């Protein structure tokens, strides 16, 4: 047995996959998985869905069981990391203790972007990233109450669906012209607006928050237009920011995420990184991208583990994402960056299933598939293969 120690900072999807893959890639030394939550690492996507709605427990969301860590000889350590001493090969923990490492992986994830408005620190204003956040929201989420969600992105709409399904009055405030403006075509935005309105959600666009008002607890949201919206509580879902402070303080290169190469190495070749905290060049799209995606985090973690073990692998998988809202499962294959046309299969103005194909110069580059798993799998396979003939066939098929 090797006496070397690999330390993974961040008990996230990426972190758990990394310790799993380390054993699979042949690491025989110690493995320590450092996280700042006392619970075993859990899946985060269901927090705004089933967990918020009370349909599953935190134990059911565990990424791996307790037995897994015992059998794989992985030590979960509940601690915060204050700094990295690269020259000494040590981490300085919040307790002041030092933890030595021979291999280091950063999977520090991301944190919610804060709302910059007067009154944002009032009681009853929530963010949703951890299980403890959801538990506090549940205390406020009493049927019949008025919930205001700031942000019409995926997290905001998923939360709206969960709260509405639980019998609350829900208002979604989106500052942009439409929900999901940054990530979807107008037709897809219109579809989700229609669905939420049909479910009883008050969706308001061009609704910039000016202030949150209340004595000690929020009671209304005032918009830039002067209009006010009654609120028993508020959930802010305006995006996430990579957690890079530890890497920055250690002198690693950071630019909207910890920069990594195709092998998941940071600017220090002895330190790897994976997950929402990273930014990486993706040749397929010709630019550097930070992917907020569990599948991408898992892929990067597998490559990072191989790199630690001296095995040559590269991050190459097609990005994909998903979102669950009511009875809808949206599956997204690829990135629609710089698309110049769309082709629609199905009618999003009246149906609850359709696929929006994004094209660039006549070739598909991505697809939003709502309740169409076959379209998703077909598109994902064809984009992965990257053959012009397959893409042309797909375009011809959906254009009929």
- pLDDT one-digit tens code per residue, 184-214: 999 999 999 999 999 999 999 999 999 999 9
Interstrand relation of 146-150 and 169-173 (parallel, antiparallel or unpaired): parallel
**What pLDDT band is residue 90 in, cutting at 50, 70 and 90?**
very high
Mean per-residue pLDDT of the chain: 93
**What pLDDT band is residue 399 in, cutting at 50, 70 and 90?**
very low
Report the CATH fold assignment for 125-236.
Answer: FAD/NAD(P)-binding domain (3.50.50)
Scanning 261-331, the segments in alpha helix (DSSP H) are 294-308
Residue 398 predicted with pLDDT over 60: no
Q: What is the structure's pLDDT at 286?
A: 80
- As a whole number, mean pLDDT of residues 150-172 equals 96
Burial class of residue 70, CB neighbours in 10 A (0-12, 13-18, 19+): exposed
Q: What is the structure's pLDDT at 284?
A: 78
- As a whole number, mean pLDDT of residues 209-237 equals 97
Residue 61 predicted with pLDDT over 80: yes
Residues of the chain with CATH 3.30.390.30: 327-399
Higher pLDDT, 376 or 285: 376
Residue 339 predicted with pLDDT over 50: yes
| DSSP structural state of residue 60 | G
Please give the order of strands across the beta sheet that includes 328-334.
Answer: 320-325, 328-334, 363-370, 354-360, 341-345
How far is Cα 235 from Cα 134, in angstroms, rounded to an integer? Answer: 10
- As a whole number, mean pLDDT of residues 137-163 equals 96
Residue 221 predicted with pLDDT over 70: yes
Q: What is the structure's pLDDT at 385?
A: 81
Phi and psi, residue 285, nearest 5°: -110, 0
Q: What is the structure's pLDDT at 393?
A: 54
Residues of the chain with CATH 3.50.50.60: 5-111+240-308, 125-236
Tokens of 238: 């305006």
Interstrand relation of 209-213 and 202-204 (parallel, antiparallel or unpaired): unpaired
Q: What is the structure's pLDDT at 163?
A: 96
Residue 132 predicted with pLDDT over 80: yes
Q: Note whether 267 and 303 are within 8 A (CB).
A: no
The label of the residue with tokens 């053959």 reads: 387
**By three-state DSSP, how is residue 338 classified?**
coil
Phi and psi, residue 318, nearest 5°: -70, 130
Count, residues in the chain: 400
pLDDT digits (tens, 9 = 90+) for 252-293: 999 999 999 999 999 999 999 999 999 998 887 888 889 989
Q: Which CATH superfamily is domain 5-111+240-308 in?
A: FAD/NAD(P)-binding domain (3.50.50.60)
Q: Note whether 290 and 333 are within 8 A (CB).
A: no
- As a whole number, mean pLDDT of residues 332-357 equals 94
Q: Note whether 375 and 345 are within 8 A (CB).
A: yes
How far is Cα 318 from Cα 296, in angstroms, rounded to an integer? Answer: 8
- As a whole number, mean pLDDT of residues 52-69 equals 93
Report the CATH fold assignment for 327-399.
Answer: Enolase-like; domain 1 (3.30.390)
Secondary structure of the chain: what % helix, strand, coil (to 5)? 25, 30, 45
- As a whole number, mean pLDDT of residues 222-233 equals 97
Residue 145 predicted with pLDDT over 70: yes
């Amino acid at each position: 047995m090797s006496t070397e120690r690999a330390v993974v900072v961040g008990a996230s999807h990426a972190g758990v996959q990394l310790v799993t893959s380390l054993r699979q890639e042949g690491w025989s030394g110690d493995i320590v998985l450092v996280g700042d939550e006392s619970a075993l690492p859990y899946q985060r996507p269901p927090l705004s869905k089933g967990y918020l709605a009370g349909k599953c427990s935190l134990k059911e969301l565990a990424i791996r069981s307790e037995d897994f860590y015992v059998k794989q000889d992985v030590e979960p350590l509940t601690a915060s990391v204050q700094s990295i001493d690269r020259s000494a090969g040590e981490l300085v923990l919040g307790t002041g203790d030092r933890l030595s490492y021979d291999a280091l992986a950063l999977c520090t994830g991301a944190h919610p972007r804060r709302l910059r408005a007067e009154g944002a620190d009032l009681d009853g204003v929530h963010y949703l990233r951890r299980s403890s956040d959801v538990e506090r929201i549940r205390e406020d989420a009493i049927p019949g109450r008025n919930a205001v969600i700031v942000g019409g992105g995926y997290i905001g709409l998923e939360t709206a669906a969960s709260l509405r399904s639980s019998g609350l009055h829900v208002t979604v405030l989106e500052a942009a012209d439409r929900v999901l403006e940054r990530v979807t075509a107008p037709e897809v935005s219109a579809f989700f607006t229609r669905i939420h309105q049909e479910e009883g959600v008050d969706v308001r666009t061009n609704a910039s928050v000016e202030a949150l008002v209340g004595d000690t607890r929020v009671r209304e949201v005032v918009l830039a237009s002067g209009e006010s919206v009654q609120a028993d509580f508020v959930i802010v879902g305006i995006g996430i920011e990579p957690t890079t402070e530890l890497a920055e303080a250690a002198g690693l290169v950071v630019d909207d995420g910890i920069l990594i190469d195709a092998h998941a190495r940071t600017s220090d070749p002895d330190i790897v990184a994976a997950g929402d905290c990273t930014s990486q060049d993706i040749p397929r799209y010709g630019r550097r991208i930070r992917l907020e995606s569990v599948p991408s985090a898992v892929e990067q973690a597998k490559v990072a583990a191989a790199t630690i073990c001296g095995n040559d692998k590269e991050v190459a998988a097609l990005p994909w994402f998903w979102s669950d809202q009511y009875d809808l499962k949206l599956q997204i294959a690829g990135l629609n960056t710089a698309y110049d046309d769309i082709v629609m299969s199905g009618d999003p103005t009246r149906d609850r299933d359709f696929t929006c194909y994004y094209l660039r110069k006549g070739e598909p580059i991505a697809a939003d598939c709502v309740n169409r798993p076959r379209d998703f799998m077909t598109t994902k396979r064809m984009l992965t293969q990257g053959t012009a003939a397959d893409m042309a066939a797909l375009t011809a098929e959906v254009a009929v």
